[in-house]
Amino acid sequence: MKLDVHDSSPGVNPKLLRGKLREDLTVMVAGQGGDGSLTIIALVSRVLLQRRYFIYRSSNIASRIKGGHAAACLRATLKPRSNLGDHIDILVAFDIEAVEKASSRLAPGSVVIFDSSRDALPPGLIADNVVVLPVPFSRLAVRDMRRDLFKNSLGFGLLGRVIGLRDEEVESCLRSHFKKLSSTQLEPNIKALREGHGFADKVGITSSSSFLTLPPLESGPERMFISGNHATAMGFMAAGGRFFAGYPITPATDIMNFLNRNLPPVGGVVMQAEDEMASINLAIGAALTGVRAMTASSGPGIALMLESIGHCGSAEIPLVIVDCQRAGPSTGMPTKPEQSDINMLTRGGNGDYPRIVLAPGDPEECFYDSVLAINLAHRAQCPVIIALDAVCHDTNTVPRFDLERVAIDSGKRVSESELVKMDEYRRYQITEDGISPWAVPGMPEAMNLVTGNERNEWGRVTTEPEMRVMMVEKRSRKIETVKPQLPRAVEWGKESAATGIIAVGILGGVVTEACERMAEEGRYFHCHRPRTLWPVLQDTIDFVNAHERVYVVEQNEGAQVTGLLQSEGARAENIISILKYDGLQFSAAGLVKRIMEKEQRS
């Protein structure tokens, strides 16, 4: 359904205007990298957040500075969601490629706002039941503001009308978003915004006669809108983290950038190293002094860090490592989500050493798990890895973090007054729980010998078989000691259901929505989302063994979660893998289809 709209158009047939309230609205803005898709989505997100909607925002961009297809999406709902909708309700497309890539996700009644400055849409590209609104964004911006860049503000003004936002709140949002610009820079944006409103007037789209809109909702608790990366960085700071070293890599760089702005003002240090190996070794050096330290990277960088992570496990150094997983192997697809580092994180490295791997599922968990990771690293004196997936760069509304829940635990750190009462200090003293008292280097009478070799209780290098066995077993006991403090799985659904579903990380959100839909058809499932990947906790093994069959949903080709569970005692015959590794996230509809296909074969 194409609306032949030009500058002189008298208006749009009012019958074409939907004016329908929606409890779930997905908007995509797409074009080439540099077109400003992220800016428009950020502006719309800001307005809808002020109205207290739940927002989930994601992006699909090429791994380059400028150019290549780039799309930004938001989903606004009346209930929390942590995944995108099945289809796109409104598409703002700056080129034909954007429409081509999104056309399969357009549903009857969807609206496409297309930049018609250069080309018309090819016949047949859009179904007849989709409303197409051609708008010469670039031509209008260049004609009136002399720069193509201002098409973003123009598009925001028109999009605000399409979803029923008030002109004054849209302009207020734009002014707030660009508050750091000078008046000379800001005013052309305001002019472009108002031109978007003017264009909407010409075609008969007003705030009260919009295509699609959400019901009024301007009350409710104030929430945070934050990515997993930023939440993890905030948790690190809240837990007393004061040293971070990293090397830029997609999608982990946000953590370093956030801390670079916020850690120095509270007395912390951020260092950008020359590579990933240097960054973790800098962090190890800081951790050895007792400072709470962290590093972050993505799969290729974590692979380079493995020797140093093993050194932390062997030398009993408390350090937090964040892995922002992306599609691999090697460079892979840097901007695409995946969960394919699980084998490396849980089993990678030479030799046996203690480690803990946490898997938060949303930004709220990222914050509290980051706090916990710092404390666990110091309790167990070992590396703790936070395994993030798409949650690292996607943005979601979550309750404000409660700093009253944050406690600092230094484990068996020995103070100077405690040290003078000890007959002898042995850094690697063999203890029943596997954790040795630790006095940081520099304290009188507290000798710390740190080596990558096996050592005795005083830290001296040894190859004695008996001591080797004692040290390996001592380090292993740490994990059993801290197991009660590890995050337990989240469960939901029908406990008595014969079929279970397991998903980790951000996939818990799409599983939740998929199960809600299947429940409407009378099919019920019991769901389980582990928050600790390693060690595998017994409740997860028991969950698998208690059901007739369990679907394990994961984003990798090798069924890595399935393999991990089977290696720890889960019955292989109970598990059916549902895998996705095309660089795109699961949708609820897609997951329902995959599950139902397998159910029909069972």
Query: Residue 25 and residue 21: Cα distance in Å, rounded?
Result: 10
Which of residues 205 and 18 earns the better pLDDT score?
A: 205
Find out whether 399 and 224 touch, Cβ atoms under 8 Å: yes
Stretch 234-260: mean pLDDT = 98
Q: How confident is the model at residue 63 (pLDDT cuts 50, 70, 90)?
A: low
Q: How confident is the model at residue 66 (pLDDT cuts 50, 70, 90)?
A: low
Examine the pLDDT at 443 and tell me if it is beyond 80: yes
pLDDT value of position 147: 80
Q: How confident is the model at residue 341 (pLDDT cuts 50, 70, 90)?
A: very high
Q: How confident is the model at residue 470 (pLDDT cuts 50, 70, 90)?
A: very high
Preceding omega of 318 cis (within 30 degrees of 0): no
- Three-class secondary structure of residue 183 per DSSP: helix
Q: Which percentage of the chain shows pLDDT scores above 70?
A: 94
Q: What is the largest CA-CA distance in the chain?
A: 93
- Domain at 226-402: CATH code: 3.40.50.970
| Mean pLDDT of the chain, nearest integer | 92
Find out whether 368 and 233 touch, Cβ atoms under 8 Å: no
Stretch 80-85: mean pLDDT = 92
pLDDT value of position 512: 97
Query: Residue 260 and residue 273: Cα distance in Å, rounded?
Result: 13
Examine the pLDDT at 17 and tell me if it is beyond 50: no
Stretch 447-460: mean pLDDT = 95
Stretch 167-189: mean pLDDT = 92
Q: How confident is the model at residue 138 (pLDDT cuts 50, 70, 90)?
A: confident
Query: Residue 385 and residue 595: Cα distance in Å, rounded?
Result: 31
Examine the pLDDT at 23 and tell me if it is beyond 90: no
End-to-end CA distance of the chain: 43
Examine the pLDDT at 218 and tell me if it is beyond 70: no
Q: Which percentage of the chain shows pLDDT scores above 90?
A: 77
Query: Residue 91 and residue 85: Cα distance in Å, rounded?
Result: 13
Q: How confident is the model at residue 12 (pLDDT cuts 50, 70, 90)?
A: very low
pLDDT value of position 67: 65
Interval 72-81: pLDDT, tens: 999 999 989 9
Q: How confident is the model at residue 65 (pLDDT cuts 50, 70, 90)?
A: low
pLDDT value of position 13: 43
Examine the pLDDT at 117 and tell me if it is beyond 90: no
Tokens standing for residue 62? 């090429």
Q: How confident is the model at residue 485 (pLDDT cuts 50, 70, 90)?
A: very high
Q: How confident is the model at residue 451 (pLDDT cuts 50, 70, 90)?
A: very high
Torsion of the alpha carbons at 97, 100, 105 and 108, rounded to the nearest 10: 120
Which of residues 5 and 579 earns the better pLDDT score?
A: 579
In the chain, where does the domain assigned CATH 3.40.50.970 lie?
226-402
Stretch 118-131: mean pLDDT = 88
In the chain, where does the domain assigned CATH 3.40.50.920 lie?
490-601
Burial class (CB in 10 A: 0-12, 13-18, 19+), 84: buried
Stretch 470-478: mean pLDDT = 98
- Among 31-35, 167-171, 177-181, 291-295, name the most confident range: 291-295
Stretch 362-366: mean pLDDT = 98
- Three-class secondary structure of residue 382 per DSSP: coil
Examine the pLDDT at 177 and tell me if it is beyond 50: yes
Tokens standing for residue 369? 């798990």
Examine the pLDDT at 5 and tell me if it is beyond 50: no
- Give domain 490-601's CATH architecture: 3-Layer(aba) Sandwich (3.40)
Torsion of the alpha carbons at 582, 511, 251 and 340, rounded to the nearest 10: -60
Does the domain formed by 14-213 have CATH 3.30.565.10?
no
Examine the pLDDT at 56 and tell me if it is beyond 70: yes
Torsion of the alpha carbons at 542, 547, 548 and 552, rounded to the nearest 10: -80
Lowest-confidence pick of 115-124, 391-400, 560-569: 115-124
Torsion of the alpha carbons at 312, 315, 318 and 319, rounded to the nearest 10: -20
Strand order, beta sheet including 106-115: 131-135, 106-115, 88-93, 24-32, 69-77, 54-61, 395-399, 223-227
Tokens standing for residue 214? 């959400």
> E strands within 63-128?
69-77, 88-93, 106-115
Provide the 8-state DSSP code for 124: T
- Among 90-104, 115-129, 150-164, 312-326, name the most confident range: 312-326
131 pairs with which residues across the strands? 111
Stretch 514-524: mean pLDDT = 96
Question: For the chain, what's the residue count?
Answer: 602
In the chain, where does the domain assigned CATH 3.40.920.10 lie?
14-213
Examine the pLDDT at 9 and tell me if it is beyond 60: no
Which of residues 17 and 365 earns the better pLDDT score?
A: 365
